[in-house]
Structure 1
Amino acid sequence: MARRKKGNRVNGWLLIDKPAGITSSAVVNKVKWALNAQKAGHAGTLDPEATGLLAVALGEATKTVPYVTDGMKAYTFIIRLGQATNTDDAEGEVISASDTRPTDTDIEQALGQFIGDIQQIPPQFSAVRVDGQRAYKLARDGEELDLHARDLFVEDLKLVSRIDDDHAELELICGKGGYVRAIARDLGASLGCFAHVKTLRRIWSCALDVEDAIQFTLLDELAKQPELLEYLHPLELGLADLPELHCRIEEVQKLRNGNPAMVTHADLEYGDEAWVSCNGEPLAIGTYKAGQIHPSRVFVPE
């Protein structure tokens, strides 16, 4: 007999406006504790000093996490001009400095080279793996790493405001795998003045928006109380970038058993990925093939 998991069956998304000074995993653990949930995970790590949207998936919503992490994300961030640090953010040691300061026009003109399909070398202090170890662990030991450039799609990068001679606020919209710290580092190099990230805030990820998030402190205030469940968003919020198909009630059990099922007519290509619902209930994610959906992830009913 299978052992029953501890905790409550909680399905959906809880969006947290993460404060600075706490890790993403600590936020997830706090959410799981506050809801006494069986299963939880997040859709994209934020550095401890970064703030903004941390989307925590609970229960069956964890099956939709890859579709959020693979999607577009938006950040606002402030860069400190005139200084480079070994971590490319304000937590590191200043390793280079310059008295040169670019004009607003200089910054705006330089941003164009970072839009579109670009290549980006991750920061030395990053979570990429080098010979099986995290780069930041090797960097802390004083190793100078030769990290390879990675592909990144940047939809938009713009100057929001020039705060003062030393600081500028930017907004970035990019795909999976982008390092804002690397953008700041490379922009500073391009401008000939050095730069690093001073503050960073994620404002949205796919259909998940920080405007719909709750403050982290609310977890303590409403822990173990049913009122906290009122802030849950449905699991299908994580599937906003996938087309939705529908099936008849007669096909539901097939999908729940992991078998192909007929779906309503769809303007999809053979092999396209989609998700299926019936009477408003999400059933599965799968591949569309000639009028059928072949499930790869099946949602367990309440």
Structure 2
Amino acid sequence: MGRARKGRDISGWLVVDKPAGMTSTAVVNKVRWALAAKKAGHAGTLDPEATGVLAIAIGEATKTVPYVTDALKAYRFTVRLGAATNTDDAEGEVIETAQARPSDGEIKEALHGFVGEIMQVPPQFSAVKIDGERAYKRARDGETMEIAARPLWVEELTMTERPDADHVELEMVCGKGGYVRSVARDLGQALGCLGHVVSLRRTWSGPFEAEDGLSIEEIESLAKSPELDEKLLPVEAGLTDLPEARCTDDGAARLRNGNPGTVVASGLDYGAPCWASHGGRAIAVGRFKGGELWPDRVFR
């Protein structure tokens, strides 16, 4: 029998403005320690050198992580033109250079090819699994892998500034699984000048904004205090992109036991994902079927 995990049964979301030089896992561990929480996870990895919003789910909120992970996210990033690196960012080794420098107009025109449903090959240094092993582990051993392209929805990709001939600043809104480093790499190749990311910030992720996030220093200073507990957003904050259906009393009781329960909703198609509330609190999330919610996850 496994040993029970220590910590408090506390639930909610804590929005963190992640600093550069810290892994997403390290942020989760810091938050779990500061809240003395039994369970925590994050909704979408950020590269260690990236900054910005990292939404940390605590306790029952971890059951809503897939719905935040699937939501649109926005990034602001700078691409260095004229060089490719083995990691597709400034942390790697330069593997090729080019003298060409595109005009602003050429960059804007090329961006059109990266909007909508695109196919994207993740970087060699990424967390995708190749034959059961993380790609970055094999890349560190000097191996070059064939990584299959995967679909990515890009809502927007715009140039916001051109500080000089060697740099371009971009903003992107995209769906789940997007690699900004791959966009920089592929844009540089399309322009014939090569490119890699030199700075990256996630400005929002689903319902969460970087400007609302706590710094690591603030989390440390408020650690294990009621003031930090007060910074938690409710579990329901992770469900704002899903339609809400309201339970009857009987429906709530049935859902709490993991059974389909009667809900009141309008405009929902059969089989549509939604969440059920009772007295303003989330009871379950699942699929709407003929006046009932069929639960996938039930909240305690």
| Short-chain TM bin | over 0.9
**How far 1:3 moved relative to its partner?**
7.4
1:37-48 aligned at under 5 Å gives the runs 37-48=37-48
Report % sequence identity. 59
Q: Which residue of 1 aligns with 2:96?
A: 96
CA–CA distance in 2 between the matches of 1:179 and 1:241? Answer: 22
CA–CA distance in 2 between the matches of 1:242 and 1:199? Answer: 32
**How far 1:70 moved relative to its partner?**
1.2
2:278 aligned with 1:285: no
Q: Which residue of 2 aligns with 1:296?
A: 296
CA contact (8 A) 2:236 2:281 kept: no
CA–CA distance in 2 between the matches of 1:191 and 1:265? Answer: 50
CA–CA distance in 1 between the matches of 2:73 and 2:67? Answer: 12
Q: Which residue of 2 aligns with 1:251?
A: 251
Q: Deviation per CA, 1:260-290, whole angstroms, max 9, x where unpaired? A: 1111142211111110001111100011111
**How far 1:231 moved relative to its partner?**
1.1
CA–CA distance in 2 between the matches of 1:128 and 1:19? Answer: 23
**How far 1:124 moved relative to its partner?**
0.9
2:268 aligned with 1:264: no
1:1-302 aligned at under 5 Å gives the runs 5-300=5-300
**How far 1:248 moved relative to its partner?**
2.1
Partner SS state of residue 118, structure 1: strand
Structure 2, unmatched stretches of 5+, are none
CA–CA distance in 1 between the matches of 2:256 and 2:50? Answer: 40
CA–CA distance in 2 between the matches of 1:235 and 1:107? Answer: 42
Q: Deviation per CA, 1:244-273, whole angstroms, max 9, x where unpaired? A: 000122332111111111111422111111
Instruction: Give the TM-score normalised by structure 2.
Output: 0.97
Partner SS state of residue 224, structure 2: coil
Instruction: Give the TM-score normalised by structure 1.
Output: 0.97
Partner SS state of residue 15, structure 1: strand
**How far 1:2 moved relative to its partner?**
10
Alpha-carbon spacing, 1:67–1:265, altered in 2? closer, same or farther (3 Å): closer
CA–CA distance in 2 between the matches of 1:7 and 1:128? Answer: 31
CA–CA distance in 1 between the matches of 2:287 and 2:53? Answer: 30
Partner SS state of residue 101, structure 1: coil
CA–CA distance in 1 between the matches of 2:145 and 2:7? Answer: 43
Aligned-residue CA RMSD (Å) = 1.4
CA–CA distance in 2 between the matches of 1:102 and 1:2? Answer: 59
Structure 1, unmatched stretches of 5+, are none
Q: Deviation per CA, 1:165-222, whole angstroms, max 9, x where unpaired? A: 1111100111111110000001001111110000111111111111211111111101
**How far 1:17 moved relative to its partner?**
0.2
Partner SS state of residue 13, structure 1: strand
Q: Deviation per CA, 1:29-87, whole angstroms, max 9, x where unpaired? A: 00000000011000011111010011100011000000111111110000101110010
> What amino acid sits opposite 1:29 in the alignment?
N
> What amino acid sits opposite 1:116 in the alignment?
G
> What amino acid sits opposite 1:178 in the alignment?
G
> What amino acid sits opposite 1:107 in the alignment?
I
Partner SS state of residue 230, structure 2: helix
CA–CA distance in 1 between the matches of 2:268 and 2:112? Answer: 35
Partner SS state of residue 214, structure 1: coil
Partner SS state of residue 264, structure 2: coil
Partner SS state of residue 44, structure 2: coil
**How far 1:19 moved relative to its partner?**
0.3
> What amino acid sits opposite 1:47 in the alignment?
D
Partner SS state of residue 169, structure 1: strand
CA–CA distance in 2 between the matches of 1:3 and 1:88? Answer: 41
> What amino acid sits opposite 2:72 in the alignment?
M
CA contact (8 A) 2:189 2:195 kept: yes
